[in-house]
């Protein structure tokens, strides 16, 4: 019998991507979608592209109703809103994949410092598992509550963790220059994201203090066994989807390209969603569009002593909805890639 799943906050871009992917998942029934704005209306009112696909009618969020009809809940609410409902869903026996930032940071003080507000469900922080399957597969499988990683952190942690785990690169002075498509900024009307402001208008934003930093440092420090500090700059690309991160690293010892390649391949294995590119090739956002892949390439620069690592993901898939489904698969004992085997859409 199919797993009954619900999506809270289904009419944002992440919610819509969950709908798209879950519709092709053979073991899942989309039992409930919630939306305050579209309550009472068919989902196709918010997303005309799902017309005719049997998507359910939107309802207002009522945790009791959600718990009554869903075994697994994807929570795609804004941050600070998830923490208000997740506890009652867990109490009612649901398993939850939360796509907000609310349960990613283990330390409530760190959360308060970066998000500017006190956490309201501190007691759940310890239990929550950071949902990056390539690092935390076993813990995710047993978790009641999975905190789905941010989009930038997914691209950065996957690129960096294997090197830190092997001690190949220094933990200080790491520079991360990331570029994201505009869908990462969500669907709320906003002058800065109007087409005429974005097209031909590449720019950095939040040059210091982006909220994904503590999440990246927390997980990478854990992997490295010592504190990792990142100099992180996000930029906004004139394209819909995709994150490409370029990382500048200092090897701790003379490192060959072959060693880098084998480090990655040993860490990730030959299967799964991480594609280690052949030496000399570079990732591109349009080689992962619409898919759950993360492509990783690298180059050694003898002139300057830097090692450059580049990773590409689709921010709405591996950076959000696809990874959430990968987590659900693990939690429910299904093959990790079930419902996620679609190729990238190129061109």
| Contact between 149 and 130 (Cβ < 8 Å) | yes
The continuous run of DSSP H or E covering 18 comes out as helix 13-22
- Residue ranges with strand state E in 225-279: 230-236, 243-249, 274-276
Query: Which residues participate in catalysis according to the annotation?
Result: 151
Closer CB to a second copy, residue 125 or residue 230? 230
Alpha-carbon distance values, 271 to 85, 133, 164, 276, 293 (Å):
36, 13, 21, 10, 11
DSSP assignment of 62-121 = -HHHHHHH-SEEEE-PPTTTHHHHHHHHHHTT-EEEE-SSTTT-S-HHHHHHHHSS--S-
Least Å distance between CB 51 and a second copy? Answer: 5
Q: Pick the closer one to a second copy by CB: 123 or 208.
A: 208
- In the bound state with a second copy, the residue whose beta carbon lies nearer, of 105 and 121, is 105
**34 close to 66: Cβ distance less than 8 angstroms:** yes
C-beta of 142 vs 191, nearer to a second copy:
191
- Smallest gap from residue 278 Cβ to a second copy (A): 9
Residue number, 26 or 333, with CB nearest to a second copy:
26
Smallest separation (angstroms) from a second copy to the CB of 257: 11
Measured from the CB of residue 159, what is the shortest distance to a second copy in angstroms?
A: 13
Backbone phi, psi, residue 48, to 5°: -55, -20
Are 298 and 307 in contact, with CB atoms under 8 Å apart? yes
**Nearest to residue 97, comparing CAs of 152, 22, 39, 186?**
22
CB of 124 to a second copy, least distance (A): 28
């Amino acid at each position: 019998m199919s797993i009954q799943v619900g999506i809270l906050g289904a009419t944002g871009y992440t919610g819509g991507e969950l709908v798209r992917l879950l519709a092709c998942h053979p073991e899942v029934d989309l039992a409930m979608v919630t939306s305050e704005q579209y309550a009472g209306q068919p989902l196709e009112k918010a997303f005309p592209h799902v017309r005719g696909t049997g998507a359910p009618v939107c309802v207002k969020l009522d945790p009791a109703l959600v718990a009554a009809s869903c075994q697994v809940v994807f929570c795609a609410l804004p941050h600070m809103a998830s923490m208000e409902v997740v506890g009652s869903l867990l109490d009612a026996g649901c398993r939850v994949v939360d796509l907000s930032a609310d349960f990613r940071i283990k330390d409530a003080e760190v959360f308060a410092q970066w998000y500017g507000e006190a956490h309201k469900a501190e007691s759940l922080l310890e239990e929550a598992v950071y949902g990056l399957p390539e690092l935390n597969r076993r813990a995710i499988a047993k978790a009641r509550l999975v905190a789905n990683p941010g989009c930038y952190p997914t691209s950065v942690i996957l690129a960096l963790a294997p090197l830190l785990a092997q001690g190949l690169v220094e933990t200080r002075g790491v520079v991360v220059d990331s570029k994201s498509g505009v869908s990462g900024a969500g669907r709320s009307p906003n002058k800065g994201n109007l087409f005429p402001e974005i097209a031909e208008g590449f720019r950095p934003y939040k040059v210091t203090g982006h909220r994904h930093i503590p999440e990246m440092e927390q997980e990478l420090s854990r992997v490295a066994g010592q504190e990792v500090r990142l100099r992180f700059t996000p930029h906004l690309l004139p394209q819909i989807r995709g994150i490409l991160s370029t990382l500048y690293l200092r090897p701790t010892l003379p490192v060959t390209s072959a060693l880098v390649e084998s480090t990655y391949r040993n860490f990730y294995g030959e299967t799964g969603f991480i594609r280690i590119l052949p030496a000399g090739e570079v990732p591109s956002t349009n080689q992962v569009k619409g898919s759950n892949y993360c492509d990783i390439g690298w180059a050694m620069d003898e002139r300057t002593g830097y090692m450059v690592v580049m990773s590409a993901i689709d921010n709405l898939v591996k950076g959000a909805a696809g990874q959430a489904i990968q987590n659900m698969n693990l939690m429910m004992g299904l093959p990790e890639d079930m419902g996620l085997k679609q190729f990238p859409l190129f061109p």
